[in-house]
Amino acid sequence: MKAKVEEKREYIRNSCLYQEELDNFFELSEEEQKKYIKEAEEKIKQLEPNEYELAKEMGADTLAIAFYSELDELDESRINDFYMKRAKWYFDSKRFFDKPEAEELLKEYGVLPVGKNGEYLTSGDYDYIEGNIIERQFKDLSYNTRDKANKLINQIWEDKTQFLTDERLQELSEARNGIGFKEFLFCEEYIKTGKVTKTCESLGIGRTTCYDYLKKDEIKKYLETRRNEIKEESDYLMKQGFNDCFSELHRLATKEPYIQDHDRIKAIDCYLRHYEQSIYKTTE
Predicted local distance difference test score (pLDDT) of residue 187: 93
Predicted local distance difference test score (pLDDT) of residue 275: 55
Which of 1-10, 70-79, 154-163, 226-235 has the largest mean confidence? Answer: 154-163
Predicted local distance difference test score (pLDDT) of residue 255: 59
pLDDT tens profile 138-179 = 888 888 899 899 999 999 999 999 999 999 999 999 999 999
By residue count, the chain amounts to 284
Across the chain, what does the average pLDDT equal? Answer: 80
Beta bridge partners of 120: 114
Task: Note the pTM of the prediction, 2 decimals.
Answer: 0.67
> What are the residue boundaries of the structural domains of the chain, listed by start?
5-109, 128-215, 235-283
